[in-house]
Amino acid sequence: MGPVIGVLADNSKSKYGRRRPFMIGGGIVVAMGLLVLGWTREIVSFFIPESDLRRVLTITLAVFSIYLVDFAINAIQSTSRSLIVDTLPIPKQQKGSAWASRMIAIGHLAGYGVSTLDLLKVLGNTLGDSQFKQCTVIAALALLVSVGVTSWAVDERVLIASKDSDVKSGAVKVVTKILKTTWNLPDRIRAICWVQFWSWIGWFPFLFYSSTWVGETYYRYTPSASIADSSDPLGDIGRIGSLSLLIFSIVTFIGSVFLPFVVRSPDNDAKPGQRNFTPRPPAAIAPLAKLLHSSKPDLLTAWMLSHLIFAGSMFLAPFVRSLHMATVLVSICGIPWALACWAPFTFMGTEVNRMTAPSTILANGSSYRRLPNASDEFSGPASSPSLLRLNHLDRDLEEDEENEDSSTGETAGIYLGILNLFTTLPQFVGTFISMIVFEILEPGRHPELHKGEDVEGKGEDDVVKKVTEGPNGIAVCLFIGAICAVGAGYATQRMKGLYKRTR
């Protein structure tokens, strides 16, 4: 879905901008999907009387809503990230991505904070008669407000329609464009995508199962805890694990705020010691300022170290025997997660802007470059002179004249969509690995792995067994993810070598 939305947005000639219509449309679909998910039972009950059919249709509608939200949210993520690439010059790509990371962290904090409240006591039945319904309403409203503010606040550059420069592309051309671009990625962008691929095989089990792992660890190894005494074992596990994710989000937010100040931003051609460095610091502090600046790690090094920090934490997962240690490991991962939400998009934005940097700035602030029709699937017959593709705002003139790195970001959508593809595919790989691991090691499924334990009981209370022997399936998945994170670190190291050779 990401690459398709990217191609369509890149070539959209809407007067409202290339990204804004997809953001708004995606936001409305996601909001509707969340509300349908919260009221699935009531919607089906309105049309179908009590029967087995109603139960089947309720489950079907709930699954459909989940997939609808999953697909539509990709449109919002792709286009909102593309806005950063479209509107910011290369030197500001790191700042833009860092602020996106901060907003993500704030969203995590707000989401976990709201979920920990007893909304029925706070709001009554105003937004629904259950905690889940009220959470879906709050999430839908928050998303619509966020998309609305972004759409109102950001001035987009508009793609100008021309009779000869562009032809309408059908589904076949869109798919062909995606496949051809994916197969012929520039070396640096391909390197970014492969780092993302390996890192997300590691992040997938963490993001999906870490809270459950913390809760299971508590019930497995805390003597005073007994799952048999709980009337809602799944709920208790979720609530215990949510505290670790709340701390994880706090660490992520702190990291996203302070790390950009201690990490050097990617630069075009300047040497590391000259990037974003004030040429005339006060004489008294010039040596100290130069020393502090030169000691900053570059973003590639910080990204590589973040993979290793995550791997080191998750390597310990199978050996954890206490709630506090599990919480500490989950919290530590907030630092690499801050970089995971920031670094790949910074590099991708920088590379896309380098490829689409304008060759000429016109007197009215517009920019243009020649488009070789042979390499552009969406271009029509050549015309003379070269056609104006993007209309820059007049207020961009001064910035564009002073900054050679200003760009149009024409292909931001498709490349960020491809990056999203390399983020999504690892989830299928992770799901397949988790399925195999859980089939073998899930508590209660294989008595021989849990000697001395009663694992033959049935019912909801047996969803999680308090066992002290045998491996934990989730911990094993986290361990496998750590191995893949080491692979991501190696891929990042190779990416550093590529950057040195092609600088």
Question: How is 261-328 classified by DSSP, letter by letter?
Answer: HHSBPP-SSS-GGGTT--SS--TTTHHHHHHHHHTSPBHHHHHHHHHHHHHHHHHTGGG--SHHHHHH
Whole-number Å distance between alpha carbons of 433 and 17:
41
Range in 177-191, 264-278, 289-303, 455-469 the model is least confident about: 455-469
Q: Which residue has the higher pLDDT, 414 or 192?
A: 192
The answer to whether residue 49 scores a pLDDT higher than 90 is: no
Q: CA–CA separation, 106 vs 99, rounded Å?
A: 10
- CA atoms of 157 and 392, how far apart (whole Å): 6
Q: CB 158: neighbour CB atoms within 10 A?
A: 17
| Residue whose token pair is 């931003």 | 265
CA-closest candidate to residue 221, choices 12, 470, 488, 503: 470
Of 502, 359, 366, 349, nearest to 411 (Cα)? Answer: 349
DSSP annotation of 165: T
Query: What pLDDT was estimated at residue 312?
Result: 95
C-alpha torsion sign, points 442, 444, 447, 453: positive
CA–chain centroid gap for 304, Å, is 18
CA distance 503 to 496: 10
Q: What is the mean pLDDT of residues 82-106?
A: 82
Given a cut of 90, whether residue 156 has pLDDT beyond it is no
pLDDT classification of 236: cutoffs 50, 70, 90: low
Contact 225, 219 (CB under 8 A): yes
What average pLDDT score do residues 441-469 get?
46
Burial label for 337, CB within 10 Å (0-12, 13-18, 19+), is: buried
CA atoms within 13 A on the CB side of 242: 16
Q: Is the model more confident about 491 or about 5?
A: 491
* pLDDT for residue 306: 94
CA-nearest of 171, 32, 172, 22 to 82 is: 22
How far is the CA of 442 from the CAs of 242, 243, 365, in angstroms? 21, 24, 62
Buried b (16+ CB within 10 A) or exposed e, 455-477: beeeeeebebbbbeebbbbbbbb
Q: Which two tokens stand for residue 501?
A: 């050779």
Q: What percent of the chain has pLDDT over 90?
A: 20
pLDDT surpassing 50 at residue 375? no
What does the alpha-carbon distance between residue 9 and residue 7 come to, in Å, rounded to a whole number? 5
Supply 489's token pair: 């670190």
Scanning 403-467, the segments in alpha helix (DSSP H) are 412-441
* Contacts with 286 (C-beta within 8 Å, 6 or more apart), sequence order: none
pLDDT of 280? 62
Bigger pLDDT: 4 vs 428 = 428
| CA separation for the pair 426, 202 (Å, rounded) | 9
Q: Distance (Å, rounded) from C-alpha 386 to C-alpha 382? A: 8
| pLDDT reported for residue 374 | 37
First vs last C-alpha separation in the chain: 33
pLDDT at 496 over 80: yes
Q: How far is CA 188 from the centre of its chain?
A: 20
More confident residue, 322 or 366: 322
Instruction: Assign 78 a pLDDT band (cuts: 50, 70, 90).
Output: confident
For residues 130 and 64, which has the higher predicted lDDT (pLDDT)? 64
- What is residue 99's predicted lDDT score, i.e. its pLDDT? 86
- 453 Cβ partners below 8 Å, 6+ apart? 447, 465, 467, 469
Residues sharing a CB contact under 8 Å with residue 403, sequence separation 6 or more, in sequence order = 89, 91
Q: Give me the torsion for CA of 280, 282, 288, 294, rounded to 10°.
A: -10
Retrieve residue 253's tokens: 């937010």
**237 pLDDT band (50/70/90 cuts)?**
low
Mean pLDDT of 448-476: 53
Residue 482 near residue 316, CB atoms below 8 Å: no
Contact 359, 407 (CB under 8 A): no
**Non-local CB neighbours of 112 within 8 Å, separated by 6+ positions:** 242, 245, 246, 249
DSSP symbols for 197-217:
HHHHHHHHHHHHHHHHHHHHH
Supply the pLDDT for residue 161: 53
Cβ neighbours around 500 below 10 Å, total: 9
- pLDDT number for residue 365: 41
Cβ atoms 418, 186 nearer than 8 A: no
Q: How far is CA 280 from the centre of its chain?
A: 39
